Amino acid sequence: MPFSSNQFDLVHTSAALHEMNSEQLEKILQEVYPILKPGGIFTFVDFHSPKNPILWPGLAILLWLFETETAWDFINTNISELLKKK
């Protein structure tokens, strides 16, 4: 990213990470933390694997109709583990 280190208190993305392939996702996560100020926060809102099985059919239809493979890959990605690596 074209930003200097320690520049932002907050970095947020909404409904964008699921559009990235796994390499792009890892690169984004690697680049987010250096631009945050100490104590800064990274937040994101995106798809996730539902805990309640009744929600799966609706999500599956949405993904099949409107999304690509990257969305399926994203909900199967252990994002918590990726964030711990950064």
Domain ranges of the chain: 8-85
Q: What confidence score (pLDDT) does residue 83 get?
A: 86
Distance set, CA 33 to CA 3, 26, 29, 57 (Å) = 11, 12, 7, 35
pLDDT tens over the chain, length 86 residues: 788 999 999 999 999 999 999 999 999 999 999 999 999 999 999 999 999 999 999 999 999 999 999 999 999 999 988 888 76
| pTM attached to this predicted model | 0.83
Q: What confidence score (pLDDT) does residue 84 get?
A: 84
Side chain identity, residue 49: S
Q: What confidence score (pLDDT) does residue 45 get?
A: 96
Tell me the C-alpha distance between 57 and 66, whole Å. 14
Q: What confidence score (pLDDT) does residue 11 get?
A: 96
